[in-house]
């Protein structure tokens, strides 16, 4: 069976599974549609959260980001940032919002800040964060299809939309939860199997996390070898190269951490478990499942980078001839992820940090994960599995985001603001319509991605960190914060962050409209735009607390609400 | 505590209420204490060991890893998992002790 046939078979089987689950788990009430009836076991929810959380970016791009773009140590910002947020979530956010016990994040903000304005501002912030995020997932679906199944991008995108449409519209949170559990199993298997093999081949150690610190066949440590090889090629040392400055790395990490704890599609997953206690353990399980991938990724990054370098230059000074490059290398050249140019005409490929002499002219981040099974000479079914895994990662995250968007529209805008008298049955219908609209809207944005689609995932975290996170945290931990404070705080936080990004990256990312230029010397305290969320969050906290002091304290009922959510059982 | 209530005769509902208020205060105080302890560790292993003190820690070699690099790419994540489960456990115990246990759904 050819590789394409195997891939169709494996991806087709995984899609059939998702549809089977969708039919088995239709939602019959708004409670089921929004929060899966609050009956999900904490371990199962942990798995679903892990799939919800790990996007196409985590699966396909992260190892390459760490290993190539951020040259090793600098990429730690993603590893610590995208996992550390779960500690904040488990201690400061999830248990209290679960106790509050309703359906959406803006709903809590609206009730806690006794104001429909606050609710609507929260809905707007939610939509800005989630839409930025979902475009990346739709693109991921299209790209994964076109690379592995040799369809064109549009066909791939449509197939993905049909699948998501099916289970998200039918089952809402209930359908999404069970498909996410299946998707987690597919994606984690697809990620770890090639990693185990590459680790075995390089270090003889089957556990990649240990392999990263083990010795190669020649007795030198893998990381030491990589450091030395990169220095020889003119790069910085792998284990010590800092991204920007120490302050920039700290700000970037902190932005991703608090962004994680403020992203609505993650928070609402914790509304689906039966108790406050279960919300805490579930966050722990989610991190266990996420950590399987997140501790494997740095090993894949280092090993695949070394593998590629050793393919091109097996011994120092002995370069691979253009004619002798392996089959996988030629295959990936066709996709445009790898590219060579024999600049000095000696028939050999010289890889170096110097752009003038470097002959490996294209080395895409995604190649480290995508080409791994072929580099490690694994059978076709493993390669097919990587395709199914990438699609599972993109579909599961897209579905979670679409639910966050559609429930904000049907529940917060319609039921809680515009038409409070709408019946349960009509609201369920409205939520399905909102979901259908969200799928179509996301598909449209995936087809005609606004210029800024690339690299916006990290931005979504900054926006969530600067807008929703402070409002949630202060809403739980302060009884004095007022609606005026929260509304102005959210607007100031998201405004400052967007303004900073726009001034360096262009207004709405249109090239040429940036008025300060995308240049490090113009960065505030040398903090790059993607890392600015933490500054936005500080502005938000400052504005909220100051305005709250100047305005009338919240009514007694709000103080009661805060008292009530702090303790797992309501007083008798 | 039972002694104090038995010495000061109050209507039954008042005893229940003030008892509940004290239990809530203990619960919230203990909760904040654990958040502070675990939050400090969270901060130290990630932004501390992984970023701020990474250079001195990198002088220490553990197997094939420089220690600072290991914290940034492996150690911090393992610690995060432990922190969440410790927090979940101490809170569950506290709730049992103070009678805030939720019924199994």
Using one digit for the tens of pLDDT, what is the confidence trace for B12-52? 444 455 667 788 899 999 999 999 999 999 999 999 999 99
With 0.80 as the threshold, say if the pTM is over it.
yes
How far is the alpha carbon of B72 from chain A, nearest alpha carbon, in Å? 6
Pick from A81, A212, A237: nearest CA to B55:
A237
DSSP A178-198: HHHHHHHHHHHHHHHHHHHHH
Residue A571 has pLDDT above 60, yes or no: no
Residue A527 has pLDDT above 60, yes or no: yes
The pLDDT value given to residue B13: 43
Report the residue from B24, B27, B64 with minimal CB separation from A221: B64
pLDDT bin (cut points 50, 70, 90) of residue A504 is low
C-alpha triplet A138, A144, A147: angle, nearest 5°:
140
Closest residue in A to B102 (Cα–Cα): A569
Q: In the predicted model, what is the mean pLDDT of residues B54-83?
A: 94
- ipTM rounded to 2 decimals: 0.91
Q: In the predicted model, what is the mean pLDDT of residues A356-367?
A: 87
Hey, what are A378's tokens? Answer: 């694994």
Other residues' Cβ atoms within 10 Å of the Cβ of residue A474 = 22
The pLDDT value given to residue B3: 39
- Average pLDDT value for chain A: 87
Residue A32 has pLDDT above 90, yes or no: no
The pLDDT value given to residue B27: 93
A79 neighbourhood in chain B, CB within 8 Å: 72-73, 76-77
A572 neighbourhood in chain B, CB within 8 Å: 16, 20
Residue with tokens 């262009």: A506
Closest residue in B to A210 (Cα–Cα): B64
pLDDT bin (cut points 50, 70, 90) of residue A179 is very high
B70 touches A: beta carbon within 8 Å: yes
A76 touches B: beta carbon within 8 Å: yes
User: Which residues make Cβ contacts (< 8 Å) with residue A228, sequence separation at least 6?
Assistant: none
Pick from A311, A364, A303, A308: nearest CA to A336:
A364
Report the residue from A39, A86, A566 with minimal CB separation from B84: A86
Q: Are A482 and A541 in contact (CB under 8 A)?
A: no
Which of the residue ranges A25-39, A89-103, A507-521 would you say has the lowest mean pLDDT? Answer: A507-521
A300 touches B: beta carbon within 8 Å: no
Which of B30, B62, B74 should be substituted to probe chain A, the one whose Cβ sees the most A Cβ atoms within 10 Å? B74
Tell me how far apart the alpha carbons of residues A547 and A474 are, in angstroms, rounded to a whole number.
Answer: 13
Q: In the predicted model, what is the mean pLDDT of residues A59-63?
A: 88
The pLDDT value given to residue A512: 52
The pLDDT value given to residue A242: 87
Q: How much of chain B is helix, strand and coil, in % rounded to 5? A: 80, 5, 15
Q: In the predicted model, what is the mean pLDDT of residues A45-62?
A: 90
Phi-psi region of A484 (alpha: psi -120 to 50; beta: other; left: phi over 0): alpha
The pLDDT value given to residue A549: 93
Q: In the predicted model, what is the mean pLDDT of residues B57-63?
A: 92
Q: Are A99 and A564 in contact (CB under 8 A)?
A: yes
- Is the domain defined by A3-22+33-308+377-449 classed in CATH 1.10.4160? yes
- Chain A neighbours among B 20-39 (CB < 8 Å)? 20, 24, 27-28, 31, 35, 38-39
pLDDT bin (cut points 50, 70, 90) of residue A566 is very high
C-alpha neighbours within 13 Å on the C-beta side of residue A220: 8
Which of the residue ranges A144-153, B14-23, B92-101 would you say has the lowest mean pLDDT? Answer: B14-23
Quick check: helix, strand or coil at residue A217? coil
How far is the alpha carbon of B3 from chain A, nearest alpha carbon, in Å? 22
- Chain B neighbours among A 484-543 (CB < 8 Å)? none
Long-range CB contacts (within 8 A, 24+) of A410-416: A410/A434, A411/A30, A411/A34, A411/A103, A411/A104, A411/A107, A412/A104, A412/A106, A412/A107, A412/A110, A412/A119, A412/A120, A412/A122, A412/A123, A413/A120, A413/A123, A416/A107, A416/A110, A416/A116, A416/A119
Tell me whether residues A80 and B46 touch, CB distance under 8 A: yes
First to last CA, chain B: 31
Report the residue from A39, A87, A257 with minimal CB separation from B84: A87
How far is the alpha carbon of A279 from chain B, nearest alpha carbon, in Å? 9
A221 neighbourhood in chain B, CB within 8 Å: 63-64
The pLDDT value given to residue A521: 55
Tell me how far apart the alpha carbons of residues A37 and A58 are, in angstroms, rounded to a whole number.
Answer: 29
Kindly report, residue by residue over A187-221, the tens digit of the pLDDT: 999 999 999 999 999 999 999 999 999 999 888 99
| Domains of chain B by residue range | 13-98
How far is the alpha carbon of A405 from chain B, nearest alpha carbon, in Å? 28
Other residues' Cβ atoms within 10 Å of the Cβ of residue B2 = 8
Residue A366 has pLDDT above 60, yes or no: yes
| Domains of chain A by residue range | 3-22+33-308+377-449, 309-364
Q: How far is CA A101 from the centre of its chain?
A: 26
């Amino acid at each position: 069976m050819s590789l394409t046939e195997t891939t169709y078979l494996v991806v087709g089987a995984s899609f059939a599974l998702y549809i089977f689950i969708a039919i088995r788990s239709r939602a019959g009430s708004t409670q089921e549609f929004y929060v899966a009836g609050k009956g999900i076991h904490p371990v199962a929810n942990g798995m679903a959260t892990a799939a919800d959380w790990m996007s196409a970016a985590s699966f396909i791009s992260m190892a390459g980001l760490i290993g190539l773009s951020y040259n090793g140590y600098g990429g730690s910002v993603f590893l610590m940032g995208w996992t550390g947020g779960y500690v904040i979530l488990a201690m400061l956010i999830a248990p209290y919002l679960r106790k509050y016990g309703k359906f959406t994040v803006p709903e809590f903000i609206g009730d806690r800040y006794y104001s429909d304005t606050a609710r609507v501002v929260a809905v707007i912030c939610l939509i800005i964060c989630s839409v930025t995020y979902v475009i990346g997932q739709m693109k991921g679906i299209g790209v994964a299809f076109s690379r592995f199944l040799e369809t064109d991008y549009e066909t791939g995108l449509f197939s993905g939309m049909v699948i998501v449409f099916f289970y998200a519209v039918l089952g809402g949170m209930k359908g999404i939860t069970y498909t996410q559990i299946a998707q987690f199993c597919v994606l984690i298997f697809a990620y770890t199997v090639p990693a185990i093999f590459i680790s075995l081949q390089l270090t003889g150690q089957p556990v990649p996390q240990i392999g990263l610190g083990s010795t190669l066949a020649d007795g030198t440590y893998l990381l030491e070898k990589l450091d030395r090889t990169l220095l020889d090629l003119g790069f910085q040392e792998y284990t010590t190269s800092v991204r920007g400055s120490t302050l920039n790395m700290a700000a970037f990490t902190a932005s991703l951490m608090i962004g994680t704890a403020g992203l609505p599609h993650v928070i609402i997953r914790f509304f689906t478990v039966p108790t406050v206690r279960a919300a805490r353990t579930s966050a722990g399980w989610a991190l266990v499942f996420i950590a399987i991938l997140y501790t494997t990724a740095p090993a894949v990054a280092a090993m695949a980078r070394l593998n590629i370098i050793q393919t091109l230059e097996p011994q120092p000074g002995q370069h691979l001839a253009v004619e002798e490059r392996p089959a996988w290398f030629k295959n990936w050249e066709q996709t445009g992820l790898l590219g060579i140019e024999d600049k000095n005409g000696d028939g050999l490929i010289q890889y170096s940090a110097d752009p003038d002499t470097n002959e490996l002219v294209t080395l895409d981040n995604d190649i480290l994960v995508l080409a791994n099974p072929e580099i490690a000479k694994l059978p076709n079914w493993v390669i097919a599995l990587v395709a199914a895994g990438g699609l599972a990662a993109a579909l599961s995250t897209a579905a979670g985001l679409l639910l966050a968007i559609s429930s904000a529209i049907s529940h917060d805008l319609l039921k809680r603001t515009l038409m409070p008298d709408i019946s349960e049955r009509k609201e369920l219908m409205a939520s399905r319509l909102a979901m259908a609209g969200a799928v179509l809207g996301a598909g449209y944005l995936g087809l005609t991605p606004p210029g800024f689609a690339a690299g916006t995932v990290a931005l979504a975290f900054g926006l969530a960190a600067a807008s929703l996170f402070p409002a949630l945290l202060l809403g739980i931990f302060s009884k004095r914060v007022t609606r005026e404070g929260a509304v102005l705080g959210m607007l100031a936080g998201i405004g400052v962050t967007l303004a900073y990004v726009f001034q360096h990256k262009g207004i709405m990312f249109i090239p040429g409209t940036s008025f300060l230029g995308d240049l490090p010397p113009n960065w505030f305290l040398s903090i790059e735009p993607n890392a600015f969320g933490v500054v936005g969050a500080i502005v938000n906290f400052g504005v909220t607390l100051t305005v709250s002091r100047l305005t009338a304290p919240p009514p007694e009922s709000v103080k009661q609400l805060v008292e009530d959510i702090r303790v797992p059982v309501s007083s008798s | 505590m039972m002694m104090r209530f038995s010495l000061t005769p109050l209507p039954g509902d008042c005893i229940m209420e003030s008892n509940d208020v004290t239990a809530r205060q203990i619960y919230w105080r203990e909760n904040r204490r654990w958040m502070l302890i675990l939050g400090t560790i969270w901060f130290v292993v990630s932004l501390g060991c992984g970023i701020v003190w990474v250079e001195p820690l990198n002088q220490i070699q553990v197997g094939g890893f420089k220690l600072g690099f290991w914290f940034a790419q492996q150690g911090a994540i393992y610690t995060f998992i432990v922190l969440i489960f410790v927090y979940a456990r101490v809170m569950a115990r506290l709730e049992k002790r103070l009678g805030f246990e939720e019924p199994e759904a």
